[in-house]
Amino acid sequence: PRARRAISLTRVLGIREPDVPKRLVKQAGDMLEPREIIIAKPINFGLQQLVYRAPGAGQIAAIQGSWMLIDLDGLPVDLTALYRGTVISVMPRLGAVIEGQGALIQGAWGSNKEGYGVLKMMVKTPNELLDAKSLDVDTRGTILVGGAGITAEALRRADSLHAQAIILGGLDAALREVAEKSEIAVIITEGFGRVPMSAPIFELLNSFNGQEAAVNAVMPARDGRGTLGGPAQPEIFVPLVGGRFAERGTPQELTPLEVEPGARVRVIRQPHLGRIGVLPRELALKWTSTESGARLPSVEIEFQGSRSDEERAIIPWTNLELIG
């Protein structure tokens, strides 16, 4: 923000107020550079000049009588962009809007931190725990991908080795406070407890192993909205670099996901947390009662890989997430 400064022109040059207009070099509205002359008067029989220079870059806001108001520019601030992309618009005094293409994964909880680095798969299956033995000096500056959780020792060691972020399926509730106090971003994709990471998410992250990614683990406000310009849920973004993903070919034209019969969904609440299913052929909502007594619109989904009626469940619509 600019700082406004009032200057007495008669005082700085020792002149009378009626002489101010003819001594001015700059006028109201003029832009100023640091040390640029604003007002001057001749001294020593016109051989020299006594001058007053601009104390910094800015603009003359107004001149009234012998007083001048100058709006001095504030000091520049470096604003780091978490996401790789193109600046498509600037919001004065607030920030910029960045547009990028890539793979997006939304999480269930985040530790209110941000991180950017290279994805590093630390486990081979989505139900493994990330332990401290697998962490070495190569951890520095990376985004670690685990499975069903992490040990307390591993979480502290990753922090001491200055990892950028950790992505997990679940997290022991007892470690929530440790994760929030950590300097690194922690994001879980499913929920608290020892919960295996959803297979599609694990496979997607594994396919981008070794590529740059951004982790925005900032939690939204209680009303469900993100911060200004921020995501509504914690998220992981793998940017498209150089027009294509490494070893994945050129992506097809982006098309929005549509809610239609047969669309894939992920359950984001217990007791079926993290399971993948498909919407029925006849998409009809049913009203069901939850344990809390609330009546919610629900839909019967069929879990993938199942062939029996036992692998069907009626899930509240708000507990489903459409996935691509």
Q: What is the pLDDT of residue 286?
A: 79
Q: What is the pLDDT of residue 248?
A: 45
Radius of gyration of the chain (CA): 30
Q: What is the pLDDT of residue 320?
A: 83
Residue type, 97: V
pLDDT tens-place string over residues 255-308: 555 677 778 888 877 777 778 888 887 777 778 877 767 788 888 888 876 544
Q: What is the pLDDT of residue 219?
A: 82
Q: What is the pLDDT of residue 157?
A: 94
Spans in the chain with pLDDT lower than 50: 246-252, 254, 307-308
The answer to whether 38 and 61 have CB atoms below 8 angstroms apart is: no
Q: What is the pLDDT of residue 70?
A: 95
Q: What is the pLDDT of residue 149?
A: 93
**Distance between CA atoms of residues 178 and 171, nearest Å:** 11
| Helix, strand, coil in percent for the chain, rounding step 5 | 15, 40, 45
The answer to whether 129 and 148 have CB atoms below 8 angstroms apart is: yes
pTM beyond 0.85, yes or no: no
Please, where are the H alpha helices in the chain?
A: 9-13, 20-23, 152-160, 176-181, 199-207
